[in-house]
């Protein structure tokens, strides 16, 4: 049994998508890369989920096993890495941490924030056989 780790990054637009569709999107990507990189089984999946993506982590875990069943990633372990939300505050002219999408700036209270990161979901890494 040979184990290799395939590292690639993919952004999925989680906006207004249900967790079940997100899991199906993840499986699509895995199947495509299995063809491209010639692996037959996935044993672990590392998913990076931003705090501001609106993705429900518990719901993801729940849907994941059901979607992956009988696929190339059947019984694969799901590891979720949470990513902090960062926004650019126009008033402070710096990056600030935010917990929710429409939060105000924790320093000055302004709502003129532009999300910099943490609003996406990525497949960071796959452990394959």
Question: Where does this chain bind Zn ion (CB under 5 A)?
Answer: 89, 91-92, 105, 107-108, 110
Shortest Å distance, C-beta 119 to Zn ion = 18
Residue 51 contacts residue 85 (beta carbons within 8 Å): yes
How far apart CA 63 and CA 15 sit, in angstroms, is 17
Q: Please, is 113 exposed, middle or buried when counting C-beta atoms within 10 Å of its C-beta (0-12, 13-18, 19+)?
A: buried
Rounded to the nearest 10°, the torsion over CA 39, 6, 9, 100 is 100
Nearest to Zn ion of 5, 108 (CB atom): 108
Whole-angstrom distance, CA of residue 41 vs CA of residue 38: 10
- CA–CA separation, 56 and 115 (whole Å): 19
């Amino acid at each position: 049994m040979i184990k290799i780790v395939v590292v690639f990054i993919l952004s999925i637009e989680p906006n207004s998508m249900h967790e079940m569709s997100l899991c199906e999107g993840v499986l699509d990507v895995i199947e495509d890369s299995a063809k491209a990189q010639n692996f037959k089984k996935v044993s672990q999946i590392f998913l990076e989920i931003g705090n501001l993506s609106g993705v429900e982590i518990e719901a993801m875990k729940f849907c994941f096993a059901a979607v992956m069943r009988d696929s190339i990633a059947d019984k694969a372990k799901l590891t979720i890495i949470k990513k902090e939300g960062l926004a650019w505050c126009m008033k402070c002219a710096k990056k600030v941490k935010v917990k929710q999408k429409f939060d105000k700036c924790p320093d000055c209270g302004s709502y003129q924030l532009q999300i910099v990161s943490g609003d996406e979901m990525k497949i960071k890494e796959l452990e394959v056989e």
